Amino acid sequence: MDSGLLRWIGVVSIGLLFLVLLIQNPVTIYVGNPNEVVISLVAALLVLIPLSACFILIGLAPLFLLCGTGLHAYSFAALASSLGVWIYSNFVRLDVGVLDGQRLNLDFGWTTYLLEGVTLLLGVLVLYWAFRRWPKVLRDFVFLLGAVVLLSSLASVVTTPFSFGTLDSSDRAPIYRFSPDKNLLIVLMDTFQSDVFAELVKADAALETRFDGFTFFPDNLGSAPTTYLTMPSLHSGADYDSGTMLKDFYEQNVERGSFLNALSDAGHEVVLVGPRTFGCPEKTDLCLEVEEVLKSRASVTLHEVAGLVDLSLFRAVPFVFKSFVYRNGAWWLRSIQERSNHFVVLSNRLLGEFSERASVKSSRPTTKFLHLMNTHPPFVMDDDCGYRSYGRIDSRAAMSVQARCAVDEFTDTLEQLKRIGVYDQTAIMLIADTGSGARNLGSTYMGSDGRPSYAGAGLVGGANPILLVKPLGARGKLKTSDARVQVRDIAATVCEMLGDCEGFPGTSVFADSAERRARRVYSYFVWKNTYLGLDYIPGLVQYPVEGPLWELASWPEAARPLLRLGQPFDFAKTSQSAVYREQGWGGMVDHGTWTDGPEAVVSFERREIRGALDLWIRAQARVGAIHPQQQVEVYANDHLLGEWTLTNWQAPEERTFRIPSGVVASADRLVIKFRMLSPFKTVDEDEHRISRQRELGLRLDQLRFDPVS
């Protein structure tokens, strides 16, 4: 083949490859997720365009240095790579759910890898045949493809609202300056679960002294399982009406109706530091992201671009290489600079800055609201509160370590306020938006041995964020209150403590029980990122909670694991299966929930149900070429119902087991246990070491109990 033609094929192929990787994919990812990127699309392109040009030039160099067989091989490799990347990026999409810090299981099984390998090999052979037979046609096709990619990316850029970014160049001094007369400091640690703080205090009695003047409210009900629906209620005390459009709810209760606006009207210098995704009240003096406070514009831009390129690579590479790009949530490019840029590290660093820079320099009362991510998954802190890019294990121990590190930084800030003489003049709140409520991270308040005592532990954990309050002038060891409070009480509490605002719904957490409104409501739903653009949240259910939130009797029957006959219990991603799932469960996917370990348990309140039952199960096994079957024993109240061998990896299988009447009547609860006799063992591993072994058995989609006639 003519060397000139080979070089032209190489040129257009190299161009297409890096246009897809560094322009098309980052642009489409940005446009689809504008709230997840701090910098503007223009700022990202100012880095990506020169970067793609550099890589194209580097890729072109061998075309003019090689000849003969080497040139032939390089041109074909460039052609195959560019077409492969284009196909994977545009047509082979992987639904991994929301990338919110929770661990992704990217072990697709040997069957998937084998099928992919055979498909790629056949594709390469067909492409090579076409390469030898119609090289000019391929050259022209790739050239046109590159032009389409470039024009479509340009169209996306043009139709995206123009901005030079949200990075603020305002003076940072207001963040650290306090008034000698009156201040409010609110630190929100995202996903900090109430029972985790109780465990920390139990393990370290010195915290009772370090939280000087604080009152801890364990029975604090959140508003919703996600930050997105919680923040408007936190800012204004408003209950969410399921008929209210989400945009209006934010505008009315954050942008216009926040207690921060009322304090600004009262003369306070108001600063909010946290994710802009959740709104900035219109009268704040300063509203910044944590990254903007601690890092330069250039550093933030490079970090965000690295994230876009990581996601581009994740989209473009074959399944077998996706885990290498993902790196257990550290991501390939971001992991290079992650030690200093991870949001957990940055949040703790901001508190460290307070410990060093807080000063008495404001002539006005000050209000500071810090929304930090130092207790949010993934759990990346080691026992010495150093960052680790490995071992991201979703466990209570790891969650507690990360929380302890955050609490240590917070109490150092308290000591600094004492040193500069404004501790008594500062009302302080340590709060969270939600608990975790994930997998095995559910609340331990219900179990005396430190383990959840019923299947609703995950639901209760997510509904129970931390709440500690220190009024102006308060001193003394940490107190614990049995008041039944809620996130919606925060605005009213602030107004009562400071005396600078009024009229917000809710009741101060320090109010007498007779003054407290009895009704607490929790809006439950399963979050999906696609909801960000919707007017309403699908599947939202509002549960009144009448008593202590960790007691089953406090929740309505709809939120309790009641055994119902003839009704399928669903385990899909959008289900409310956290109510009846106990230990042994892993990730929820579109159709069901995977087991993770040798045993997995669900349980139900039996109530008045008696007699024999038929247990119908729909499930799919984790099998593959070298693991052709999954053997599962099914138990009811520790009575073996039978063994089930599953072999179909392409579709769910169904089976019915008979539960004898004596087993049904043997306890107040009906506990169904799946014991995997041959779990599919895999590991989550990064460039350093194995962090966790996973044992995948089956994906439970549905089960149903039918009376035996």
At 491 the pLDDT is 97
**Does 222 have pLDDT greater than 90?**
yes
pLDDT band at 538 (very low <50, low <70, confident <90, very high): confident
Strand locations in 422-474, DSSP E? 426-431, 467-470
pLDDT above 70 as % of the chain: 87
When comparing pLDDT for 469 and 524, which is higher? 469
At 294 the pLDDT is 87
What token pair was written down for 38?
């701090």
Q: Which of 526, 490, 524, 495 is nearest to 509 (CA)?
A: 490
pLDDT above 90 as % of the chain: 55
At 6 the pLDDT is 94
**Does 625 have pLDDT greater than 70?**
no
**Does 693 have pLDDT greater than 70?**
no
- Those residues whose C-beta lies under 8 Å from the C-beta of residue 284, and which sit 6 or more positions away, are 260, 261, 264, 270, 271, 272
d(CA 409, CA 549): 29
Q: Phi/psi at 590 (nearest 5 deg)?
A: -55, -35
d(CA 382, CA 339): 12
Residue 668 DSSP SS3: coil
**Does 5 have pLDDT greater than 70?**
yes
Across the range 173-190, mean pLDDT stands at 96
When comparing pLDDT for 551 and 94, which is higher? 551
Across the range 508-531, mean pLDDT stands at 76
Q: How many CB atoms lie within 10 A of CB 614?
A: 15
Residue 43 · residue 301 · CB < 8 Å: yes
Q: Which of 374, 367, 437 is nearest to 577 (CA)?
A: 437
At 530 the pLDDT is 59
Across the range 611-631, mean pLDDT stands at 83
Helices (H), 204-258: 207-210, 227-236, 246-250
Question: Residue 2, exposed/middle/buried by CB under 10 A (0-12, 13-18, 19+)?
Answer: exposed
What single-letter amino acid sits at 690? I
Across the range 14-22, mean pLDDT stands at 97
The helix or strand, by DSSP H or E, that contains position 656, with its residue range, turns out to be strand 653-659
d(CA 594, CA 700): 6
At 105 the pLDDT is 62
At 280 the pLDDT is 92
Residue 648 DSSP SS3: coil
At 35 the pLDDT is 67
Distances (CA, A) of 639 to 105, 602, 618, 631, 658: 32, 14, 20, 17, 11
When comparing pLDDT for 451 and 566, which is higher? 566
What single-letter amino acid sits at 438? A
pLDDT band at 684 (very low <50, low <70, confident <90, very high): very low
pLDDT band at 658 (very low <50, low <70, confident <90, very high): very high
The helix or strand, by DSSP H or E, that contains position 636, with its residue range, turns out to be strand 630-636
d(CA 318, CA 547): 51
- Per-residue burial over 59-97, b = 16 or more CB atoms within 10 Å of its CB, e = otherwise: bbebbeebeeeebbebbbebbbbbbbbbebbeeeeeeee
Across the range 627-651, mean pLDDT stands at 88
At 95 the pLDDT is 59
**Does 675 have pLDDT greater than 60?**
yes
Helices (H), 358-419: 396-419
- 3-state helix, strand, coil split of the chain in percent (to 5) is 40, 20, 40
pLDDT band at 450 (very low <50, low <70, confident <90, very high): very low
pLDDT band at 683 (very low <50, low <70, confident <90, very high): very low
At 104 the pLDDT is 63
Beta strands 359-360; 177-178: pairing state: parallel
What token pair was written down for 401?
């370590």
Q: Phi/psi at 106 (nearest 5 deg)?
A: -110, 25
Residue 634 · residue 698 · CB < 8 Å: no
Across the range 283-305, mean pLDDT stands at 87
| Residue carrying structure tokens 């055979």 | 118
Residue 520 · residue 221 · CB < 8 Å: yes
- Those residues whose C-beta lies under 8 Å from the C-beta of residue 154, and which sit 6 or more positions away, are none
Question: Residue 449, exposed/middle/buried by CB under 10 A (0-12, 13-18, 19+)?
Answer: exposed
pLDDT band at 694 (very low <50, low <70, confident <90, very high): low
Convert the pLDDT of each residue in 363-380 to its tens digit: 999 999 999 999 998 888
* Residues across the chain: 709
Across the range 692-701, mean pLDDT stands at 72
Convert the pLDDT of each residue in 43-69 to its tens digit: 899 999 999 999 999 999 999 999 999
At 377 the pLDDT is 86
Least confident of 49-58, 230-239, 440-449, 564-573: 440-449
d(CA 236, CA 217): 20
Convert the pLDDT of each residue in 406-420 to its tens digit: 999 999 999 999 999
| Residue carrying structure tokens 């005390």 | 237
At 394 the pLDDT is 64
At 531 the pLDDT is 66
237 backbone φψ class: left, alpha, beta (φ>0; ψ -120 to 50): left
Least confident of 82-91, 102-111, 635-644: 102-111
**Does 686 have pLDDT greater than 60?**
no
- Those residues whose C-beta lies under 8 Å from the C-beta of residue 255, and which sit 6 or more positions away, are 279, 280, 281, 282
Across the range 18-34, mean pLDDT stands at 92
Distances (CA, A) of 401 to 166, 406, 432: 33, 9, 17
- Chain centre to alpha carbon of residue 501: 34
Residue 398 DSSP SS3: helix
Helices (H), 1-102: 3-19, 25-32, 41-65, 68-91
At 595 the pLDDT is 85
**Does 422 have pLDDT greater than 90?**
yes
At 392 the pLDDT is 53
Give the alpha-carbon dihedral of 451, 457, 462, 468, to 10 degrees: -50
DSSP 129-170: HHHHH-HHHHHHHHHHHHHHHHHHHHHHHHHSPP-S-S---S
User: 688-691: which pairs have CB atoms within 8 A and are 24 or more residues apart?
Assistant: 688/389, 688/390, 689/390, 689/391, 691/328, 691/390, 691/391, 691/392, 691/393
Least confident of 217-231, 249-263, 270-284, 451-465: 451-465
At 401 the pLDDT is 94
pLDDT band at 334 (very low <50, low <70, confident <90, very high): confident
pLDDT band at 662 (very low <50, low <70, confident <90, very high): very high
Convert the pLDDT of each residue in 551-581 to its tens digit: 877 887 767 778 889 989 998 876 777 778 8
At 291 the pLDDT is 85
d(CA 125, CA 470): 71
Averaged confidence pLDDT in the chain: 86
